[in-house]
Amino acid sequence: MSTENYHHVELQIAGGELVTGFTCSAPVDASCRRRPKDHDQRESWSTEEATETGFRCWAVEWVEAVGTADAVIGSADAVLASVPVEIHFEEGVGIDPVQTESSDSRVLAALNAMMPYAKSDTLDDYEIETIERMRAALRAAGVVL
């Protein structure tokens, strides 16, 4: 089973404003991009009925229709991201994101460094799988070295 997550909530600065978005990078045959043959004539369907591939992600379509804020109603309270910022005052308050190497990048670098050991008898299958899952989770979170 794949541990890769194709769906992400994004925070962006666009046009001088903080905006949220929702993205899907799933392959065209992913379950979120399938519909039943008669999808345009129905309001709902089950996963088993959705056999036609290549559509836009239904979750992205739904979030675009209701908005990110309404899409997460009922979710547990959580900090999804914490971004360091610089503040300044020049005829008004200014806040700019700071581009730094994240601690996630350092963790991914450490995991990458451990992978040669996974090729030997040093690590058991569970440890190798754990490392691979951690690497996939960091990649899914957008961490790039």
The answer to whether residues 6 and 63 belong to one domain is: yes
Q: What pLDDT, in 10s, does the model give residues 38-55?
A: 877 777 888 888 888 889
- Coil, strand or helix at 35: strand
User: Over the chain, what is the mean pLDDT?
Assistant: 76
Q: Check residue 21 and give its pLDDT.
A: 85
- With a pLDDT cut of 90, the percent of the chain lying above it is 8
Q: State how far the alpha carbon of 111 is from the alpha carbons of 6, 29, 85, in Å.
A: 21, 30, 28
Condensed to tens digits (0 to 9), the pLDDT of residues 122-132 reads 556 666 666 67
Beta bridge partners of 10: 21
Q: Give, in order, the Cα–Cα distances in Å from 46 to each of 25, 31, 135.
A: 22, 11, 32
Query: Could you give the maximum distance between any two Cα atoms of the chain, in Å?
Result: 63
Same domain, 74 and 129: no
Give me the domain span that covers residue 92.
Answer: 1-99
pTM over 0.85: no
**Span 54-77, mean pLDDT?**
86
What is the total count of domains within the chain?
Answer: 2
